[in-house]
Structure 1
């Protein structure tokens, strides 16, 4: 990363305040960035933005359906505007929908919708970020992956296909745009996150895993920030994060 002043950050795929997207927004705001908080639920992203503003940071909620090209283009038009903070130089794609489904009864619509959120949206965000940042010769584009990026599990064929595809999008982008000054990285979250989504869907998981068995939101966000701050002579393309007790 250059020594230029902090600019804007764009986080796509923000939901509940006790979620990774929101934690990333808070971390980047703490680093001095104005954060564009992008997600599909206006009330949720506005709460995240309001919390940041109440803590003295800068954040704007931008309702965005990442599977709609027009929404993504409009988001980046706003992100790259030459206003008081200047154009964005940090972009994170964090959208996903890891829902299980029996392979034998899975519909085409289910598979396609999972792919659209998990992979197509990442392509659209990556494409618009590269279009805007490559001519400037700087910027960081980060993609949130999962255990499913590397291996399939029963009942998660659709999610695994989407996440594996997103990983290849990130890898191809890194090879194409790294020499142009863009740091593209993929973060494999290899374990359960101690946040609202998992705790509401599988409330017994925390007790089963124990106090050290789940990833905590703020340390994950710190890892993304560290990737953004890496010197270009020693960039990481892929990092994997998991609790120290997690087997792999």
Structure 2
């Protein structure tokens, strides 16, 4: 692939924005997917080579149409970063099944649909990258994560299956789990008594995602777990 096109979902004010900026700095043209048009316009104004697409990734029809538009306007996508996340907190007795289903659509089915649409061009090119961002809910089910952890675990296992399918064709799939409180305004308010190094910086997370996307073929990583040095694990 001569053009470097990166598609990033879930472009919010924290990790998503930082990922967009890091890949733009790396010479990529970046397609940003989010539901907030004002946020996308603001980022596109400040970050060269970025293009915003309003999209609800839980809606298959909308998502498919958006991916088609991205490819028509920018070219074949060489790197997909699925950062969009649907979450809810409560036990299985407290959270309605519809919430679990919606989270599954965002976290897992959206990845499934996008990969099916984008992978054929990557296979034909003999290269490409598909990365999912997650957290430790992909590895364990705590009592208040009943409508969230199952969808993140499914997301990770889907991506692992994709890695085994696509790896021999030169397409690198990886999962970057963030075991941390991410440094954004609302978490700063919630954890106001914590020092700076308690938080994971969005730009540092983005740097690791970029690193995984550019690993040499002789040393690909699938599972990457990152956390602040003082995190209890």
Give the alignment's TM-score, normalised by structure 2: 0.93
Computed over aligned residues only, the root mean square deviation of the Cα atoms, in angstroms, reads 1.8
CA distance in 2, matches of 1:206, 1:118: 29
Alignment of 1:36-75 (within 5 A): 36-52=31-47, 57-75=48-66
Q: Is 1:7 the counterpart of 2:32 in the alignment?
A: no
Residue among 196, 213, 222 paired with 1:211: 196
Contact 1:194 1:206 in 2 (8 A): no
Instruction: Give the gaps of 5 or more residues in structure 2.
Output: none
Q: Higher mean Cα deviation, 99-108 or 19-28?
A: 99-108
3-state SS in 1 of match to 2:58: coil
CA distance in 1, matches of 2:40, 2:173: 25
CA distance in 2, matches of 1:73, 1:131: 15
Q: What is the Cα deviation at residue 146 of structure 1? A: 0.6
Question: Is the alpha carbon distance of 1:197 and 1:8 closer, same or farther for their aligned partners in structure 2, counting shifts above 3 Å?
Answer: farther
Q: What is the Cα deviation at residue 47 of structure 1? A: 1.5
Matched with 1:192 is: 181
Contact 1:6 1:32 in 2 (8 A): no
In the comparison of the two structures, how many residue pairs are matched? 233
CA shift digits 1:139-179 (9 cap, x unpaired): 11110111101112221111100100000011000000000
CA distance in 2, matches of 1:191, 1:15: 17
Q: What is the Cα deviation at residue 108 of structure 1? A: 1.7
Question: Is the alpha carbon distance of 1:104 and 1:221 closer, same or farther for their aligned partners in structure 2, counting shifts above 3 Å?
Answer: same
CA distance in 1, matches of 2:192, 2:133: 22
Q: What is the Cα deviation at residue 103 of structure 1? A: 2.5
Matched with 1:22 is: 17
Contact 1:147 1:191 in 2 (8 A): no
Residue among 102, 108, 112 paired with 1:119: 108
CA distance in 1, matches of 2:57, 2:175: 18
CA distance in 2, matches of 1:15, 1:204: 18
CA distance in 1, matches of 2:141, 2:187: 19
Give the alignment's TM-score, normalised by structure 1: 0.87
Q: What is the Cα deviation at residue 239 of structure 1? A: 0.6
